[in-house]
Chain A
Amino acid sequence: MAEETITNKPARVFELYKTMSLIRAFEEAAEVAYDAGFVNGSIHQYIGEEAIGTGVCSNLRDTDYILSNHRGHGHAIAKGANPEAMMKELFGRVGGTSGAKGGSMHIADFSVGMLGANGILADGTTMGVGAAQALVLRGVDAIVTVFVGDGTTNRGPFYEALNWSMIYELPVLFVCENNTYASSTVTRSVTAGAGPVARAEAFGMPAFDIDGNDVLAVDELAADLISRVRGGGGPHFLHARTYRIKGHISRDKMLYRPEGETEERWKGEPIGRCAAWLLDNGIGQDELDEATSSAEKQIADAVEAAHAAPFPDAKLAFADVQDIGAPQ
């Protein structure tokens, strides 16, 4: 979605709703496919966190870059990657976003500025500041958004990236998705001080805290911060509170989580909240239903296409390693 196109508020929010529904449908279908044995590796689902990637990326342009992490399906879809190609990637089939070389944790679509999910925590933060430096060097009018999990904010490279972005006044928006958990650990239990916002502020970076399950709020704040970054305002930090509804990976049974917590937090999931707002603002239930089924249909088609797609030629394992000294 291009940032300028929609000025009518309900129409804009309805678009956000559609994107979130598409991400939700993708994640649910991915889990079904995983359980049925069609997905070769693990999947980290974004269910319940859709508002963040959606609200942020709806304010980005194709020429802007994002750097994602292991929980990257939603970021990719929101940035405009093709869900069918993504599903094929999960299935390890021809037509996958990364040629079936990477799988769920390595989805990338450079054509829409999605510079990659990542299997190594915090590496996106340092690469993100480098991408911003490249934009400056090349004189390109674009910005970089880096998505980082709450648990990852305890890794050193994240702080090096914050400092670096500030001293070189780089066009970077850091988005911290605080979903309460880092694998099976409650992030708070291993995090000192007042949290990510205070930490970003310690570097002199303007930092903002928001309810990450409120897509309208995320959209508004992201619009503001992104225009500041675009306007030469230097790096900004957006801390979005949310909740990881599913296990760390889809087969995680979450025995560490207090009983009833998921159900309680599910009540605040972003799509239902967005639907409630839309119903109050002139969008009919039939339109919402139609949007949901259209998203589900698109994903069902993607799954069907993934099933139908062939496996890649095994010999492609030897392609794209390097130019000089490539394997025989």
Chain B
Amino acid sequence: MSEMNQGDAVRIGLAEEMRRDPLVWALGEDLSTAHGGTSGSQYYQLIDEFGPKRIVNTPISENTIMGAAVGAAVAGTRPVADLRMADFAMCAVDELVNQAAKIRYMFGGQARVPLVVRQMIGARKGGAAQHSQSTEAWYVHTPGLVVIAPATPGDAKGLLKAAIRCDDPVVFMEHKELMAATGEVTDDPEAVMPIGKARIVNEGSDLTIVTWSKMALIAAEAAELLAADGINAEVIDLRSLWPWDKDAVYTSVAKTGRLLVAQEAVQVGGFGAEVAADVAENMSDALKTHVRRIGAPRIPVPYAEPMEAEYRITAEHIVAKAKEVAGA
């Protein structure tokens, strides 16, 4: 194991997969020129090892980055298309949703689309309305896609590798504010994390808090605050949103009888609604109180600090809601 930040972890993970399989390649804007300057460390110096055929520095052409990746996946390679931010990926939702997600099905199983689409989600200080959005629910709603949103460097590396080896199109959503966060990461190039398995961040018996991406860290912080008040929250980081680990959630809810779903994204129509509804439908016997959700208000992300703070869900928000759920 080594201690490293998420940017380094995913770069090492990608490099390991590229060494393992010569048909893995990456495409996106500034992939070979960014020296940690504008888009972090995820591709730093990969061009030196893999060359311009496999680290493809593209023009600013989102539709073609996505479309070319779909075509290249169908034609026998394993592309990793980097769209940078979820906000820019919207420019190419068509190629992802109408093509990548549909090709296998619509052509009667003749083709597979082993594609990874990377796009960063989440608010980062002052990013404002067009550089902050969390759009994971859009893709969970689309049949044919796998959706992953890791919270730690170790998970990001292990799941990126799994995404690359996966034969389905995978939307891989890293959080901007997690790229510099550090954690323990395996050095074993063969270690791949299973998609669809949650991580128990914190064990507890009083209530279950289901979350993902950066909110998992905030929920862990909330669990500490709750513990100080004698409430033991079990925090589950889903890591994969489709498929999601229903077993882990059901098992936890069977134990606690109480569920709070916490997300950074706008609460209305968010993925948390799916988890909440599913548990309400399937675990009603175990539930001691109705399910609650917490998520951002239905507003674009504002710029100025005090307004941006209104958008963000904090540990204190989670604590207050958790106490309501726990009946404390």
Contact = CB atoms under 8 A, between A and B. Distances in A.
A106 B130 contact: yes
Contacts of B304: 40, 92-93, 96, 100-101, 103, 311-312
Contacts of B126: 39-42, 92, 103
Interface in B211-258: none
Given A103-B128, A248-B37, A314 B310 contact: yes
Interface stretch (B112-120, B293-301, B316-324): B293-301
Question: Which of B33, B34, B127 neighbours the largest number of chain A CB atoms within 10 Å of its CB?
Answer: B33
Task: Tell me the interface secondary structure of chain B in the complex.
Answer: loop
Contact of A317 (B35, B125, B299): B299
A33 to B, nearest CB: 12
Interface string A104-135: 01100000000000111110000000000000
A156 B57 contact: no
B37 A119 contact: no
Contacts of B125: 40-41
B297 A318 contact: yes
B35 A41 contact: no
Interface string A244-261: 000111001111100000
A25 B280 CA distance: 59
B1 interface: no
Interface residues of A, number: 51
Contact of A185 (B29, B87, B303, B311): B29
Interface stretch (A76-84, A147-155, A163-171, A273-281): A147-155
Interface in B34-52: 34-39
Nearest to B297: A327
A317 B38 contact: no
Contacts of B298: 321, 327
Contact of B311 (A98, A152, A182, A317): A317
A190 interface: yes
Contact of B37 (A89, A120, A152, A253): A253
A185 B308 contact: no
Contact of A189 (B38, B57, B299): B57
Nearest to B311: A317
Contact of B33 (A121, A154, A184, A249): A184
Nearest to A98: B303
Nearest to A192: B59
Contacts of A248: 37-38
B231 to A, nearest CB: 28
A73 B8 CA distance: 34
B134 to A, nearest CB: 16
Interface string A20-39: 00000000000000000001
B105 interface: no
B302 interface: yes
B63 interface: yes
A185 B52 CA distance: 14
B60 interface: yes
Question: Which of A118, A184, A186 neighbours the largest number of chain B CB atoms within 10 Å of its CB?
Answer: A184
A206 interface: no
Contact of B306 (A182, A254, A312): A312
B306 A314 contact: yes
Contact of B303 (A103, A155, A318): A103
A184 B129 contact: no
Given A41-B128, A154-B61, A155-B60, A316 B307 contact: yes
A41 B33 contact: no
A155 B33 CA distance: 19
B188 interface: no
Nearest to A106: B128
A227 interface: no
Contacts of A285: none
Contact of B35 (A102, A255, A318): A255
Contacts of B309: 314
A93 B63 CA distance: 37
A262 interface: no
A105 B130 contact: yes
B205 interface: no
B305 A311 contact: yes
Interface string A274-317: 00000000000000000000000000000000000001111111
B268 to A, nearest CB: 9
A317 B302 contact: yes
5 contacts: A120-B91, A152-B60, A184-B35, A317-B308, A327-B299
Interface of A: 39-42, 89, 92-93, 96, 98, 100-103, 105-106, 118-122, 151-152, 154-156, 182-186, 189-191, 247-249, 252-256, 311-318, 321, 327
Given A119-B129, A154-B61, A317-B299, 13 more contacts: A89-B303, A92-B305, A98-B303, A154-B59, A156-B63, A182-B29, A184-B38, A253-B35, A311-B304, A312-B306, A314-B306, A316-B302, A317-B297
Shortest Cβ-Cβ A-B pairs, 9 listed? A41-B126, A92-B304, A40-B126, A119-B130, A154-B59, A100-B304, A103-B303, A317-B307, A255-B35
